[in-house]
Amino acid sequence: TSELEEFLKSNIKVSSKVTLGINDPKLGAMINEKTNINCVCNDVISEITRGIRTHFYKMIDNLNKNSCINAQIGLGHNVSRCKIKYNVNKADNMIIQAASMLEQLDKDINTFSQRIREWYSYHFPELYPILKDNFLFAKCTYFIGDRNKLTEDHIEELNNIIGSEDNNELSLKILQVSKSSIGMDINDIDLINIKNFSLRVIHLMEYRKSLFDYLISKMNLI
C-alpha cells in the first residue's frame, strides 16, 4: 500500500549496508521494486519473526497476551468473512458440489437397487419383472419380507405403496404369484439383512430426491 511505502521510505535509509528482513518473498520483491530497499527472506528471518510474534505483547506498553490473542482471533474472523464475501463463485460452487453428489448417488442407487433385486429374487423371483421401478421394488421388498406371510389383508397397504392407477391389479398379481413362487425359503437372519438393506436404499433414494430439489432451487437463483 502507499502507506507502507511511505513508512518504509521515511524510516529506512536506502543503502547497500541496510537490509530489511521480510517473511514473505513476494512482498520483499514488491518492496524492493517500489523503494529500492534490499530485502531478505530466509530461515533466520522466519525464526526472528516467530520470536517477535510470540513475545510481541512484551514489546508494547499497556499490551498483554490476552489482548494479542483477541486481536489475532478478530483478524482471522475478518479475513474469513472477506474471503466468503468476495467469493463471487460461491453459488456456483454449491451447484457444482450438489451436481457431483447427485451423479454419485445415481450410480450408487443403481448398483444397490440391482443388488436388492438379485438378493431378494432368491426368495421371490416373480416380483422382479412385475415391479420395474427400483424405488417401488425396494419399498415392496421391505414391506413384503417373507412372501409366505403375504395375505389379502396386506392388499390395501400394498396399494398405498405402489400408488399408481393400476395399483390394485398389481397388488393382486403380487399376491397371486407369491402363492406359487418357485423361490427358496428364507431364514430370519437373511430376511432381516435384506430388509435393512432395502430400507437404507429407500432412505438413499429419498435423500436423492431432496438433493435434486435443492439443486433446482439453487439453479433458479442464478
Q: What is the pTM of this model?
A: 0.58
**Average of per-residue pLDDT values in the chain:** 86
DSSP codes joined into one string, 152-196: GGGHHHHHHHH-STTHHHHHHHHHHHHHT--PPP--HHHHHHHHH
Q: Could you read off the pLDDT of 107-157 as tens digits, one per residue?
A: 999 999 999 999 999 999 999 999 999 999 999 999 999 999 999 999 999
Predicted local confidence at residue 33, as pLDDT:
86
Please state which CATH number belongs to domain 91-221.
Answer: 1.10.287.4070
CA distance linking residue 102 with residue 163, whole number of Å: 25
Q: pLDDT digits over 15-58, tens only?
A: 778 888 888 888 888 888 888 888 888 888 888 888 887 777 77
Report, in angstroms and rounded to the nearest whole number, the Rg of the chain calculated over CA atoms. 34
pLDDT at 185 over 80: yes
In whole angstroms, what is the distance from residue 206 CA to residue 80 CA? Answer: 35
Residue 218 in contact with residue 94, Cβ under 8 Å?
A: yes
pLDDT of res. 150: 93
| Strand, helix or coil for residue 19 | strand
Grid cell locating 178:
407369491
Q: Report the pLDDT averaged over residues 200-222.
A: 90
Q: Return the number of other C-beta atoms located less than 10 Å from residue 94's C-beta.
A: 14
pLDDT category, 81, cuts 50, 70, 90? low
Buried b (16+ CB within 10 A) or exposed e, 60-80: eeeeeeeebeeeeeeeeeeee
Least confident of 58-72, 80-94, 158-172, 192-206: 80-94
For the ranges 22-31, 75-84, 176-185, the lowest mean pLDDT is seen at: 75-84
Residues of the chain with pLDDT > 70: what percent? 92
Please list, in sequence order, all residues whose beta carbon lies within 8 angstroms of the beta carbon of residue 92, skipping any fewer than 6 positions away: 222
More confident residue, 174 or 165: 174
pLDDT bracket for residue 220 (50, 70, 90): confident
Instruction: Give, in degrees to the nearest 5, the angle at Cα 152 between 147 and 155.
Output: 85
Q: Which of 172, 144, 149, 171 is closest to 160 using CA atoms?
A: 171
* In 73-175, beta strands by DSSP E: none
pLDDT attached to residue 153: 92
Q: Which residues contact 95 (CB under 8 A, 6 or more apart)?
A: 215, 218, 219, 222
The CA distance from 168 to 134, in Å, is 19
